[in-house]
Each structure stands twice: as structure tokens, then as C-alpha cells.
A and B are shown apart, each in its own frame.
Chain A
Amino acid sequence: GAVVSQHPSRVICKSGTSVKIECRSLDFQATTMFWYRQFPKKSLMLMATSNEGSKATYEQGVEKDKFLINHASLTLSTLTVTSAHPEDSSFYICSARQSRGPKTDTQYFGPGTRLTVL
């Protein structure tokens, strides 16, 4: 149980294009999902908290117009990197929390999406 998927797993795009990454909770409902960014050999950096049916909450220093988040249903959140540039190349990971049950404060992570911007 508590499986989270991400799509795509790897994407290469040209500078200036936009890329959408999907995060799905497969066997549970997730009112809250989180988006992280991870640089090589570093820990996870929280970018934003995605709440179903409302606007995402962004961490300080994260541009909300650059990283668009949509959480339209209880099982899907999307992150769109707009007008991507090489410095946006990174490993993006989402996580989800169960809406109900004994582990509503545990975050379960997706497998990550490797974005490379040329």
C-alpha cells in the first residue's frame, strides 16, 4: 500500500520549453502532496506544498510562476516547469500523505523525475 508514481521518470527538453511532471497516489487519497528538488549528493529541498482544491504553498525562494502546481484531484498533482533553463535541471520528487488512516503524517515518495534542460 501507499504507492506513489511519477511520470515521466526522465525527460530531456530544450531551453525555453515547459515540462509537466505528474505525481499520482495509486492506492490512497492524498489531500496534501509535496514537491521536492534534489541536487546530486544532496538532501531533499522542499519546493512547495500542494493542497487539493486550493493554491499551493511555496517555500521561500521558489518562484510560483516558474514552478506551477496544480492539485486537481485527491490522487493527482502536477508540477509544470515553465520556460525551463539549464539551471532547472535536477531530480524532482513528489510525496503524498494519506488523507485518512493511522499514518496521515507519513509522506510516501514517488520514484522521482530526472529533468535535463539542454
Chain B
Amino acid sequence: GESVGLHLPTLSVQEGDNSIINCAYSNSASDYFIWYKQESGKGPQFIIDIRSNMDKRQGQRVTVLLNKTVKHLSLQIAATQPGDSAVYFCAENVNNAGNMLTFGGGTRLMVKP
């Protein structure tokens, strides 16, 4: 069936380096994508989103890239900090499917001091 998945379950980076978390999706009808950050014992926190009519969107220290040709989504975190350590989920939304989100499996980001 349609699914959203992630290539790497765990990513370890040095503090100050840039991080890139990848996500593959298979539903070509998806038109809205969101990245969430989840710290241990907490609910997911909205980070950044992008619609399918865009291929790049920037926030504060974060950038999301969307490649619809290969159905690939990435989250780039600049100058990664210890506070960025968490599990990151990508989620896709299909507008004509009740606006429900389908979540990927998650990537754990570990920032080494």
C-alpha cells in the first residue's frame, strides 16, 4: 500500500554540523508534507511544512526540500545543537483523503557535544 518511510533510523552528528534527515513517500497524490520533532515522552512538535507546489522552504535553521520526481523529502538542520536531539517524523497529507496524515517510521537524531 501507500506508505511513507525513512532511509536511516538513527543519525549521529557532531554539534555544530549540519544534519540531513531523509524521507521517501510513495503516494503521488500527497500534496502537503510536514516534519515533526518528538522528544522523549512528549508529543510531536510541528517544525516546518511544505506544499507540493514548492520544492524548498526555509525556516529558522531548518530547510525542507521536496523532490516530487523521486518522491523524496528531506529536512536539513543547520548548526545542529544538543537540543535538536529527538526523533523526527515526516508526514504526508492527501487533501482528498480527509486531510489525514500518514507518518513515516521516524529517524532518531543524536547530537554529540
Contacts and interface: CB of A to CB of B under 8 A. Distances in A.
A42 B105 CA distance: 7
A55 to B, nearest CB: 14
Contact of A105 (B36, B44, B95, B105): B95
A15 to B, nearest CB: 24
A106 B104 contact: no
B45 A109 contact: yes
A109 B98 contact: no
Given A43-B104, A43-B105, A97 B44 contact: no
A100 to B, nearest CB: 14
Contact of A109 (B36, B95, B99, B104): B36
Nearest to A46: B100
Given A106-B49, A107-B101, A43 B43 contact: no
Interface residues of A, number: 26
Nearest to A57: B98
A72 interface: no
B85 interface: no
B41 interface: yes
B46 A108 contact: yes
B42 A111 contact: yes
A91 B41 CA distance: 8
A85 interface: no
Interface of A: 2, 4, 6, 32, 34, 42-44, 46, 49, 57, 91, 93, 95, 97, 103-112, 114
